[in-house]
Amino acid sequence: MQAYKIMHGLWGMGQMMFTKYLVVVDDDVNVHSTSEVLFRLCANINPQRDPIFTKGPADVLDHATSEIAIGIKLGIDATRKLAGEGFKRPWPSLIRMVKTVRKRIDSMFRNQRE
């Protein structure tokens, strides 16, 4: 439940209360890499289990809210799930290509583009 704790903690920090969407990932994810975050978002979530909707303060200039300064926020737990969180199976390790294979595939695609 650490991801939900982080979400609520961030929503409770000053101007962070205006954040409508939060995605929490594990510490080994480069949050500056959109592809890494999107991969974890697609690979690690169960749409029924991992999102949380909550109501809270919203920016008064946000035209999407149904009430002025009150809005719905969406938090998504895109972390690896633990047994203590009710996950009953072992979490699979991340599969990575070996550098030699990656290099060969990159060269094949490079040749196709030329």
Instruction: Quote the DSSP letter at residue 63.
Output: T
Structure confidence by residue, pLDDT tens digits, 73-105 = 999 999 999 888 888 898 888 888 899 998 988
| Residues of the domain holding 47 | 2-89
* pLDDT at residue 16 greater than cutoff 80: yes
Question: Structure pTM?
Answer: 0.80
Q: Assign residue 30 the CATH number of its domain.
A: 3.40.1670.10
Q: Give the whole-angstrom CA distance, residue 47 versus residue 43.
A: 11
Number of domains in the chain: 1
Residue 94 included in any domain: no
CA pseudo-torsion sign 54, 55, 56, 60:
positive
CB neighbour list of residue 37: distance below 8 Å, 6 or more residues apart: 23, 25, 29, 31, 78
Higher per-residue pLDDT: 113 or 23:
23
In a domain, 81, yes or no: yes
pLDDT confidence tier of residue 113, bands split at 50, 70 and 90: low
Residues 68 and 24: their CA atoms lie apart, in Å, by 27
In a domain, 16, yes or no: yes
- Asked, for residue 108, whether it belongs to a domain, the answer is no
- How many angstroms separate the CA atoms of 43 and 60, rounded? 35
Mean pLDDT of 58-78: 93
- Domain assignment present for residue 96? The answer is no
